[in-house]
Amino acid sequence: MAKIVCVLYDDPVDGYPKSYARDDIPNITKYPDGQTAPTPSAIDFKPGALLGSVSGELGLRKYLESQGHTLVVTSDKDGKNSKLDQELHDAEIVISQPFWPAYMTAERIAKAPKLKMIVTAGIGSDHTDLQAAMDRGITVAEVTYCNSNSVAEHVVMQMLSLVRNYIPSYNWVIKGGWNIADCVSRSYDIEGMHVGTVAAGRIGLRVLRLLKPFDVHLHYLDRHKLPDSVEKELNLTHHTSLESLAKVCDVVTLNCPLHPETEHMINEKSLKNFKRGAYLVNTARGKLCDRDAIARALESGQLAGYAGDVWFPQPAPQDHPWRTMPHHGMTPHISGTSLSAQTRYAAGTREILECYFQNKPIRNEYLVVQGGKLAGVGAHSYSAGNATGGSDEAAKFKR
């Protein structure tokens, strides 16, 4: 029987919810490319419940215990002697979410001799040292597509918030003001602007589609060109370098995975190619950007605004400069963990576990690493190597 260690974020400070703002959520069974939403044999939770925090347990306890397995759920993941570290010695499966990632570094993997699988309940497995997982023959899987559309909605929300100066204007209301000139002196329409995405995968393409009705000019950078029919439908301009995209875009959004090739792609040097006053929205991974270069670009005016929900490390320490830099619209890492998204990634995690325990193949699209090499979505979108360096800084966060 297996021991499964599941690392989840803390419950709300006021306690696990007894009721919710809404009574139901739409039932999404298919994604835009035809891929089916997760299909576990059953679920033991009500869709729309808070599953991603410790008491929600991803809805897995009943299923796992009924099969005789042991489930350990904790939010204590960073620093010396965390609960996660204490539990690794006999863990067969580690599950965590990118929002509150269990950084599965080579050191941690070495402490877990029985470890067979690392599951990302969500999308983006950069918190695992993929090279170390390959070297040990550990399977890495994620719930591809479960929250891609959720993130795309967040991207569009944050783009509009920055361009229209929403957050400072909202704050004038809270402060009791009616300071129209203060609000609008940084407020523009997005109509007519050039908007580009770095990567046109599931999220990037969704962002392009959502933006089309705003009458903007759409651009994308991706190693693989989209089909001609899609380029035509959305009137897209394809770029083969970040420099070429950045030079023409007023708004840029990052939607590629973090892997050694993409780490710090936005840095002091590449920011010089952006138009002065460009907006940057990054809901992909914090480490795609050089942290201090972003803060400096906002201070100098090279960037007019920066928003997103991803940081490095996570949780971000209190003194992380992105908490206090000017003209930012950051949220904690939430875009992919709406209650709607949680329903899908909890079901997807269960589907992966059912396949694992029944010796059935895990869907190819869920695989990142298998059999000592990149596989499935991993082979398409990631590069080999490790992007977890510096993650021990997460221990600096004080609750």
Instruction: List the one residue from 47, 48, 56, 124 that touches ligand NDP (CB under 6 A).
Output: 124
| C-alpha–C-alpha distance, residues 57 and 40, integer Å | 16
Of 108, 285, 328, 350, which is the active-site residue? 285
Q: Residue 71 phi/psi, 5° resolution?
A: -115, 125
Q: Shortest distance, CB of residue 15 to ligand NDP, whole angstroms?
A: 24
CB-facing half-sphere around the CA of 294: CA atoms within 13 A: 29
**Across the beta sheet with 3-7, what order do the strands follow?**
70-74, 3-7, 93-96, 117-120, 139-142, 367-370, 373-374
- Cβ closer to ligand NDP: 64 or 288? 288
Q: Which residue of this chain has its Cβ atom nearest to ligand NDP in the complex?
A: 201
* Residue 314 bears catalytic tag: yes
Residue 120 within binding range of ligand NDP, rule CB under 6 A: no
Q: 98: cis peptide before it, omega within 30°? A: no
* Residue 147 bears catalytic tag: yes
Near ligand NDP by CB under 6 A, which window of 71-79, 88-96, 192-200, 362-370?
A: 192-200
Q: Are 363 and 145 in contact (CB under 8 A)?
A: no
| C-alpha–C-alpha distance, residues 366 and 108, integer Å | 23
- Cβ closer to ligand NDP: 266 or 297? 266
Q: Shortest distance, CB of residue 100 to ligand NDP, whole angstroms?
A: 11
Instruction: List the one residue from 82, 120, 147, 388 that touches ligand NDP (CB under 6 A).
Output: 147
Convert 373-392 to b/e letters by CB count within 10 Å (16 or more is b). ebbbbbbebbeeebbbeebe
Residue 197 within binding range of ligand NDP, rule CB under 6 A: no
Q: Shortest distance, CB of residue 96 to ligand NDP, whole angstroms?
A: 13
| Cβ-based neighbour number of residue 246 at 10 Å | 23
Instruction: List the one residue from 128, 165, 169, 255 that touches ligand NDP (CB under 6 A).
Output: 255
Site for ligand NDP in 263-322 (CB under 6 A): 283-285, 309-310
Q: Shortest distance, CB of residue 276 to ligand NDP, whole angstroms?
A: 24
Site for ligand NDP in 27-66 (CB under 6 A): none
Residue 161 within binding range of ligand NDP, rule CB under 6 A: no
Q: Residue 378 phi/psi, 5° resolution?
A: -65, -40
Instruction: List the one residue from 64, 130, 183, 198 that touches ligand NDP (CB under 6 A).
Output: 198
Near ligand NDP by CB under 6 A, which window of 12-20, 75-83, 147-155, 362-370?
A: 147-155
- Cβ closer to ligand NDP: 63 or 220? 220
Of 314, 327, 342, 350, which is the active-site residue? 314
C-alpha 261: how far from chain center: 18
Residue 336 within binding range of ligand NDP, rule CB under 6 A: yes
Residue 151 within binding range of ligand NDP, rule CB under 6 A: yes
Residue 148 within binding range of ligand NDP, rule CB under 6 A: yes
- Cβ closer to ligand NDP: 169 or 388? 388
* Residue 333 bears catalytic tag: yes
Active site residues: 147, 285, 314, 333
Footprint of ligand NDP (CB under 6 A): 122-124, 147-148, 151, 198-204, 221-224, 255-258, 261-262, 283-285, 309-310, 333, 335-336, 377, 380-381
